[in-house]
Amino acid sequence: MRSVSKNKKKPALDFKKTESKKLSLATKLILYRKMFLSRKAEEKIQEEYKNDEMKTPMHMSMGEEAIAAGVCTALGQRAQIFSTYRTHAVYLSSTEDIKGFFAELYGKDSGSGGGKGGSMHLADPDKGVMFSSAVVGTNIPSALGAAFANRHFKNKKIAVAFFGDGAVDEGVFWESINMASLWKLPVLFVYEDNGFAIHTPASLRHSYKNIAQVVKSFGYQVVEYSGADVEEIFQLVRSSLKRLDNGPIFLALKYYRYLEHVGTEEDFSAGYRDKNEFLKWHRKDPVKMQRDKLVKLGLVSRILKLEQEILDKINKAVSQAKTDTLPNPKRLYFGVYENEKEK
Ligand SMILES: Cc1ncc(C[n+]2csc(CCOP(=O)(O)OP(=O)(O)O)c2C)c(N)n1
C-alpha cells in the first residue's frame, strides 16, 4: 500500500528570496575548504594522469565545485547521496577522504572501494555517499527507494540523486519523477545542467525548452539557479530541505564543465562548444569567488593555513597511493553480494 505524507501543505516558497540569515564564518570557510580540496585534487590528477598509473577513466568536476560543496554542506550527516560517474567533487565534499580517494584512483587495496571501483564508482555509505553509477540515470530510482525507507523508518536521512541533463533523456528519469511526486517522497533531485551529454547540446535532445517548467507540471517544488556562488547554493538547499516533507524537490542548477567530457584536458578545439562561453563562466569561478569573499573578510591567514594543509594532504595521499598494494585477485568477487564470504 502506498504511503503518503499527512503533513499539511505549506505555502509555496519563493526560492528566489533565499534565507536572508547570514552565514557564519565557519560555514563560509567549510564551503571554501571543500571546493579548494576538489579543485586541487583534480589539478593533481591533471599533473599525474599522464604517467598512466591511474587506470581509470576520469570525468572531472572542474566548474561544478559550488554545487557539490553547497549541497553536501547543507545536507551534512543526514546525506544519503546517489551519484554519477562525474563524482570527484561530490565524493570529496561529502567525505573529505583524500587518502581513500587517491588510493581508489590508483586502484589500490586501500582505496575507498578497495581499488575495484575507480573514479566512476566512488562511494562511502558510512559517510553518506551510497554509490556512484556509470550507467546514466540508474542512481535516480535508488534514491526514491531510499527516500521511501527513510520516511518509513523516520531516520532523518535525506536521499539525494545527482544527475546531469543527459540523464533526463532516459525513461527511468520520467518514471522516477512521476512516482516520487505521486508518493510525495522526500527526495532531493539535483539536476546538474552543463548543457551537454558528452558533445550533444540539449537543443538536439530535448523537445522542451525548460525542464523546470515540465517538472513543475508533475507537481514539484522547483528551484532554479544559474551561477557558481557556493553560499547562494548552500542557502537554496538549506531552505529547500525544510520543504521536503511536502514531497520531492527538484533543484535545477546550471554550471559549466571546464574540461573535456572524459579526460583531464580542455577540449575547445573539438568544435562542439565555444571557448567564450567558458571564459564567461570562468570569470566567476566558484573557488576564486569564495576565496575573494574570505579575503575581503580579512581571513587571509586562515585561508593560507587551510590551503597548505590540504595541499600537504593531497601530496601525501598521492605518494602513499603509489606505494600501496594492489588488491588481491582472490578478493575479486568479495563485496559483490552482501553476505559473500571472503575466499
Ligand atoms: C544508460 C547509459 N546510456 C548511455 C551512456 C553513455 N554516456 C556516458 S556519459 C553520457 C552523457 C551524460 O550526460 P549528463 O547526464 O549530462 O552528464 P555529464 O557528463 O554532463 O556530467 C552518456 C550518454 C551511459 N553511460 N549509460
Residue 3 lies in a domain: no
Which protein residues are within 6 Å of ligand 1, measured from CB?
A: 86, 134-137, 163-167, 194, 196-198, 261
As a whole number, mean pLDDT of residues 256-271 equals 97
Q: Which three cell numbers stand for residue 49?
A: 594522469
**Which atom of ligand 1 sits closest to the CA of residue 169?**
15
Instruction: Express each pLDDT in 20-51 by its tens digit.
Output: 568 999 999 999 999 999 999 999 999 999 99
Q: Between helices 286-296 and 25-49, what is the axis angle to 10°?
A: 140
Q: Is the pLDDT of residue 246 over 60?
A: yes
Closest residue (by CA) to atom 3 of ligand 1?
136
Write out the residue range of the structural domain in which residue 129 sits.
25-48+62-97+120-320
The better pLDDT of the pair 336, 265 is held by: 265
**What pLDDT, on a 0 to 100 scale, did the predictor assign at position 340?**
67
What residues form DSSP beta bridges with 226?
A: 254
As a whole number, mean pLDDT of residues 255-270 equals 98
Closest residue (by CA) to atom 7 of ligand 1?
136
**Which atom of ligand 1 sits closest to the CA of residue 135?**
26
275: domain CATH number? 3.40.50.970
The CA 68 to ligand 1 mean position distance, Å, reads 18
**Which atom of ligand 1 sits closest to the CA of residue 137?**
1
Where does the pLDDT of residue 14 fall: very low under 50, low under 70, confident under 90, or very high at 90 and above? low
**What pLDDT, on a 0 to 100 scale, did the predictor assign at position 4?**
40
Ligand 1: residue of 86, 132, 198 to mutate (most ligand atoms within 8 A of CB) is 198
Query: At 332, phi and psi to the nearest 5?
Result: -50, -45
**What pLDDT, on a 0 to 100 scale, did the predictor assign at position 3?**
40
Residue 148 lies in a domain: yes
Closest residue (by CA) to atom 4 of ligand 1?
136
Instruction: Express each pLDDT in 301-335 by its tens digit.
Output: 999 999 999 999 999 999 999 999 999 998 888 87
Closest residue (by CA) to atom 8 of ligand 1?
136
Contact 316, 40 (CB under 8 A): no
As a whole number, mean pLDDT of residues 257-283 equals 97
DSSP annotation of 113 reads T
The CA 166 to ligand 1 mean position distance, Å, reads 6
If one counts the domains in the chain, the total is: 1
Cβ-count burial of 231 within 10 angstroms (0-12 exposed, 13-18 middle, 19+ buried)?
buried
**What pLDDT, on a 0 to 100 scale, did the predictor assign at position 334?**
83
The CA 173 to ligand 1 mean position distance, Å, reads 13
Instruction: Express each pLDDT in 64-101 by its tens digit.
Output: 999 999 999 999 999 999 999 999 999 999 999 999 99
Instruction: Express each pLDDT in 233-242 by its tens digit.
Output: 999 999 999 9
* Phi-psi region at 263: left, alpha or beta (left = phi > 0; alpha = psi -120 to 50): left
Q: Is the pLDDT of residue 154 over 90?
A: yes
Residue 129 lies in a domain: yes
**What pLDDT, on a 0 to 100 scale, did the predictor assign at position 335?**
78
**What pLDDT, on a 0 to 100 scale, did the predictor assign at position 333?**
84
How distant, in Å, are the alpha carbons of 71, 120, 204, 270, 336 from that of 100? 21, 14, 39, 34, 19
Q: Is the pLDDT of residue 8 over 80?
A: no
**What pLDDT, on a 0 to 100 scale, did the predictor assign at position 98?**
98
Contact 132, 121 (CB under 8 A): yes
Residue 331 lies in a domain: no
The CA 67 to ligand 1 mean position distance, Å, reads 19
The CA 144 to ligand 1 mean position distance, Å, reads 20
Q: Is the pLDDT of residue 199 over 90?
A: yes
Work out the mean pLDDT of the chain and round it to a whole number.
93
Residue 104 lies in a domain: no
Residue 245 lies in a domain: yes
Contact 26, 51 (CB under 8 A): no
Residue 13 lies in a domain: no
Residue 257 lies in a domain: yes
Q: Is the pLDDT of residue 342 over 80?
A: no
The model carries a pTM of: 0.94
